[in-house]
Structure 1
Amino acid sequence: MKNAAAVYTQSLGKTGTSYNKGKKGYAYAYAILDGEKYYKLGTDQYITVMHNSAVYSKNLKKTTSSVAAGKKILTFGRTTIKNKKYYQTGYNSFISASNVDGTTRTLKKNAYVYKKSKGKAVRYKNSVLKQNSQQQTYGSAVSIKGKKYYIIGVGKYVAKSDFK
């Protein structure tokens, strides 16, 4: 920092934290508010990706990178691009929030939980989810041996047809 700098919240309230002159800090974006330039600092927030996720640039072009399900990664917050929610994972690097936050869905009947083994879906232990219970599903449905499943956890699936 060229000068000592206070750290502000998103609503421009001081946090009580500051950077001393000469201290190095990582800022990955900036905004101009009321004619002043503010830099966005990393928040040390980690997320667990529940569904394999492509990485996109800010103009929503797919990059050659992806993030595997179950991986814990650093995020710099959520943002909306073209009416869809994304997590920013680096400079000009975003993943779909639906692969992290999930969507709440209601079961229309009792449902078995499956795992993937040798390319097919097999029952996961003796797990049965009850009718009308709500489950978080992550990302879009995936296909296993021609049948559609929602991911409900890392390596855990429920048939798409079991949901309302």
Structure 2
Amino acid sequence: MKVYMRYTKHLFIIFIIILSVNETSFAIGKIVDYFLNNQNAWSNTKRITGSTPAKVVVEDGLEGLRLELMDLTDGDEVALVFLETRKVEKMKREGFCNLNDKLVRGKNRIVSVIIRNHGNRKKFHYKFILKKSVSRAPAIIYNDGDAILESNYDGSTAVVNDSDLSGINLLEIEVR
């Protein structure tokens, strides 16, 4: 009987772990789905967070255009949600996201959001720069090399607006 109880306890713990992972995955999918499926998500987010999207105009099309993740808190994951093309790019480490197939000519709305926080929800950081590299031409770095999308919260300061806690940032790119 003791052996049976011991195995039952282990199975119960494994079952709880599986359920918690599934609920986390469900919640992560929900925030991305919210932006993809709700036509008012963009305006609601601007109103609730009290934030204004960063705006950039890109000349000469999409060739070589990318968002480069320069910094991300260890273990975290950030998603880029492209509203016009309804595409999502999830990033777990520094690198770049080619924008050729994720943007269209004209105005594009992009949402960046932390979708996984490794342990400490009171501390996270990510930073994207917008860059254009076309062969044999010098790279163009927009916004004077400063971050175009950045969320930084270390838990030591008062929360100024809700986007501090959510890691949500908004960006508009107009492609000409």
Query: Which structure dedicates a bigger proportion of its chain to strand?
Result: 1
Give the structure-2-normalised TM-score: 0.25
Ranked by relative contact order (alpha carbons within 8 Å, sequence separation 6 or more), the top structure is 2
Give the structure-1-normalised TM-score: 0.27
Query: Which structure dedicates a bigger proportion of its chain to helix?
Result: 2
Is the radius of gyration larger for structure 1 or structure 2?
A: 1
